[in-house]
Amino acid sequence: MLIEKLCKEQNLTDDEFRTLLETDRYDDALREAADAVRREHYGTDVYLRGLIEFTNFCKNDCLYCGIRRSNKCASRYRLTEEDIMACCKEGYGLGYRTFVLQGGEDPYFTDERVCQIVREIRTRYPDCAITLSIGEKSRESYQAFFDAGANRYLLRHETADPTLYSRLHPAELSLENRIRCLYDLKDIGYQVGAGMMVGCPGQTTDHLIRDLRFLQELKPDMIGIGPFIPHKDTPFKDEQRGDLYLVLRLLGILRLMFPWVLLPATTALGTIHPQGRELGLKMGANVIMPNLSPVSVRKKYMLYDDKICTGEESAQCVDCLERRVTSVGYQIVSGRGDVKR
């Protein structure tokens, strides 16, 4: 009855969420319910987001992340505006109508430079959504990017627990500022994506319940979750990766809590299991974010070990994904794939 209640009320008590998260007893029922809700709101459609990883320079030092400032082994790169435009051109030809510019927090990309790139994409591809994922900025910067033509912003909250947050991040970063950013972005008019890393060091079920409560307050348009995966050149190199089934359970729960939400089957999920993304789609996920970055830099944007899809050309990725998505009964659709609230 837990699943029926969650379907009906889009909510449960903390104790009920704990039960759902900590046993595998409900997995089949959860998958059936999540898939039914997803079909009701989005049919069998799967939306693509072309991910352009345009810089791996970062001024931050997040303990889990492979491109953290202190990782001296990382080979750093930045794409030029021409490189980025070439990625968009390739992506547009392959049917992508959303471009996601993601990167480390790289001071080289000043507001002026980011706005210039956004304006250029906006002019050339007026029918596409432009998503930024470049970390914490001032409200003024977010406004400037929005005015230049950006529509969406991905900024995972990572964890909604301030103590755990401070164990994962250097002292100069705070959960408070991350949350300030998310509300500023919403207020400006962006479609916003938040989300947490599942199974990061020190995380308990109670932390995850806190994440669910935070998401209930924020009501983001998109929720990106994936397993934590250690990176060999970070302080967390010897930590356990996040559990596949826990991520899947959370996807199902999120689909039932937020029937209209955009829910990606993430690359990290595909990294911990060969069919991870397919399993995610069956649990209510409806978005995939293939890599559009030039193959020459893909291995350098290593947030965690063994990241998949770092060798293929973009066109090959589309073929492979097409097969994977149809194998579980869904279909890739071209188009911006806006949220259906």
List contacts with ligand SAH (CB under 6 A): 64-65, 102, 104-105, 133-135, 155-156, 158, 197, 226, 228-229, 231, 268, 303-304
Which is closer to ligand SAH, CB of 34 or CB of 197? Answer: 197
45-48: strand order across its sheet: 287-288, 45-48, 331-333
d(CA 324, CA 308): 14
Which is closer to ligand SAH, CB of 17 or CB of 228? Answer: 228
Tokens standing for residue 278: 């397919």
The minimum distance between CB 105 and ligand SAH, in angstroms, equals: 5
Number of other residues whose CB lies within 10 A of the CB of residue 159: 26
The minimum distance between CB 319 and ligand SAH, in angstroms, equals: 25
The minimum distance between CB 46 and ligand SAH, in angstroms, equals: 21
| Closest-CA residue to 60 (of 107, 112, 102) | 107
The minimum distance between CB 304 and ligand SAH, in angstroms, equals: 4
Q: What angle do CA 325, 254, 153 make, to 5 degrees?
A: 80
Integer angstrom CA distances of residue 142 from 113, 181, 186: 13, 9, 10
Which is closer to ligand SAH, CB of 158 or CB of 278? Answer: 158
Which is closer to ligand SAH, CB of 31 or CB of 156? Answer: 156
Which is closer to ligand SAH, CB of 103 or CB of 259? Answer: 103
Query: 324 with 308: CB under 8 angstroms?
Result: no
The minimum distance between CB 102 and ligand SAH, in angstroms, equals: 5
d(CA 106, CA 273): 31
The minimum distance between CB 136 and ligand SAH, in angstroms, equals: 7
| Closest-CA residue to 67 (of 193, 233, 196) | 233
Which is closer to ligand SAH, CB of 33 or CB of 268? Answer: 268
Tokens standing for residue 66: 């492979």
| Closest-CA residue to 244 (of 271, 213, 212) | 271
Q: Name every residue whose Cβ is closer than 8 Å to that of residue 273 and which is 6 or more positions away in sequence.
A: 244, 279
Query: 227 with 186: CB under 8 angstroms?
Result: no
Number of other residues whose CB lies within 10 A of the CB of residue 4: 10
Which is closer to ligand SAH, CB of 102 or CB of 286? Answer: 102
Which is closer to ligand SAH, CB of 133 or CB of 291? Answer: 133
The identity of residue 87, as a single letter, is: C
The minimum distance between CB 328 and ligand SAH, in angstroms, equals: 23
Tokens standing for residue 49: 């987001």
The minimum distance between CB 62 and ligand SAH, in angstroms, equals: 7
Can you tell me whether residue 100 is helix, strand or coil? strand
